[in-house]
């Protein structure tokens, strides 16, 4: 089944698969299935049409649930998969950003199996990211009057294992080539004592309708419905906005993200692909080298305490000074940013028409530069991963947290992004999904 797109962008037989679970541990019902069973056979697609809904109940079994969801994805070839489960300890509907490759059961599943830290799939990525836009889905649930939040923790019981298998199968479909890759997301609903069945069903329907709207929007912009998300292992890229292209010059791209997120890896992929890349960090070092005008200005502003005995800038001392003092940071930025901007423009002017001119700039959101680019690629990563990367660079944990806190937050960055890259996997995953972004969306 799955979608067939006509020449004028209309969809026929667009399908969203919704899975939920059978009752667990002797209970009479499961809130996730009660909500799924109330869904209609078709939902609006946002353009006056409809998208078909297929519902399937999964066993509460580590072994059988994962096998069953893969069978359903292979048999039905859905355009998107919305998995639903119950998290009784939560007070809101939560949409999961990622699943981990671990099974742990505090109590046995319905087969009597209780794993303790075993992998869902041996030899696969530690975690996989949602391939549907989590923030949009959360917003859709809130819009119908039900409390909802994004979540970084799919738990370690059958829900997480099932979600991981679905994401892994989506990756298999992506690797096959020439097939429509399903978007996948997991939604946890509270127990019936917290969210009555009718409201729970309304929340799940909002998720399905937003998924359908995204499929239609992706088709109308040529991004191929669910392929508005590209996933490789633990990294996923989401196309949030359409991209503008001006003829007769290079495509202008801004790459940004919080410290430790992985933007330098993304920029290096672009460099290997022939893009002209200006690195703001490198340029910021160059404009304060001995003899450069920036160094003299910094010393006048902050004194000789920011110099090493050999007359070079002590960047660590300067960083400790400015990251704990917003006024000092603003003063430094007022010196360095104009110098770096001029140097970057000079470098990027050399990109040929039809090529790519890429500016790797950490403070894009903070400096309001987004308007000069045809597209902004924003790279994000879990906080602990960012702290680990900074620790590996010799940055003390306290300094690392101060640097992260001094930068723009996730919501502000996402509001500016054309493409959002979630870097929750390996450097190889991130490089691979960046290659896909270039091949499918930028060239």
Binding positions for ATP are 260-265
Q: Which residues are annotated as a binding site?
A: 260-265
Task: Determine the Cα–Cα distance for residues 128 and 135; give it in Å rounded to an integer.
Answer: 17
Q: How many CB atoms neighbour CB 171 within 10 A?
A: 19
CA 119 to chain centre: 23
For the chain, the distance separating the N- and C-terminal CA atoms, rounded to the nearest angstrom, is: 30
Q: Give how far Cα 277 sits from Cα of 158, 349, 371, Å.
A: 45, 11, 18
Using an 8 Å Cβ cutoff, are 407 and 363 in contact?
A: yes
Task: Determine the Cα–Cα distance for residues 52 and 58; give it in Å rounded to an integer.
Answer: 19
CA 2 to chain centre: 24
Token digits of residue 346: 């000079």
Using an 8 Å Cβ cutoff, are 59 and 22 in contact?
A: yes
């Amino acid at each position: 089944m799955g979608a067939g797109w006509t020449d004028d962008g209309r969809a026929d037989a667009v399908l969203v698969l919704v899975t939920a679970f059978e009752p667990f541990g002797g209970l009479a019902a499961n809130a996730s299935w009660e909500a799924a069973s109330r869904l209609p056979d078709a939902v609006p697609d946002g353009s006056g049409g409809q998208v078909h809904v297929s519902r399937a109940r999964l066993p509460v079994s580590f072994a059988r649930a994962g096998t069953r969801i893969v069978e359903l994805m292979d048999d039905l070839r859905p355009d998107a998969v919305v998995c639903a489960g119950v998290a009784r300890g939560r007070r809101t509907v939560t949409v999961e950003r990622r699943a981990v490759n671990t099974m742990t059961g505090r109590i046995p599943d319905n087969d009597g199996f209780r794993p303790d830290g075993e992998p869902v799939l041996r030899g696969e990525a530690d975690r996989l990211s949602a391939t549907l836009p989590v923030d949009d889905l959360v917003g859709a649930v809130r819009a119908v009057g039900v409390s909802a939040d994004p979540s970084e923790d799919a738990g370690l019981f059958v829900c997480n294992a099932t979600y991981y298998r679905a994401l892994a199968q989506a990756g298999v479909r992506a690797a096959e080539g020439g097939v429509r890759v399903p978007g996948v997301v997991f939604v946890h609903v509270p127990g019936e004592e917290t969210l009555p069945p009718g409201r729970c069903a309304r929340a799940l329907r909002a998720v399905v309708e937003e998924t359908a709207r995204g499929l239609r929007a992706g088709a109308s912009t040529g991004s191929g419905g669910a392929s508005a998300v590209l996933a490789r292992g633990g990294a996923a890229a989401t196309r949030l906005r359409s991209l503008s292209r001006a003829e007769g010059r290079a495509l202008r791209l801004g790459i940004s993200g919080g410290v430790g997120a992985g933007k330098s890896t993304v920029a290096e992929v672009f460099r290997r692909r022939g893009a002209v890349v200006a690195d703001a960090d490198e340029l910021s070092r160059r404009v304060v080298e001995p003899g450069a005008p920036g160094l003299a200005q910094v010393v006048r502003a902050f004194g000789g305490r920011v110099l090493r005995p050999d007359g070079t800038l002590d960047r660590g001392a300067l960083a400790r000074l400015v990251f704990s003092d917003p006024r000092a940071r603003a003063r430094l930025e007022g010196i360095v940013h104009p110098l770096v901007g001029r140097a970057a423009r000079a470098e990027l002017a050399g990109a040929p028409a039809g090529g790519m001119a890429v500016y790797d700039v950490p403070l894009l959101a903070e400096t309001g530069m987004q308007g000069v680019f045809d597209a902004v690629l924003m790279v994000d990563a879990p906080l602990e991963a960012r702290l680990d990367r900074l620790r590996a660079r010799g940055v003390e944990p306290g300094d690392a947290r101060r640097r992260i806190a001094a930068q723009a937050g996730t919501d502000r960055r996402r509001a500016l992004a054309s493409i959002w890259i979630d870097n929750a996997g390996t450097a190889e995953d991130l490089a691979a999904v960046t290659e896909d972004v270039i091949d499918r969306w930028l060239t």
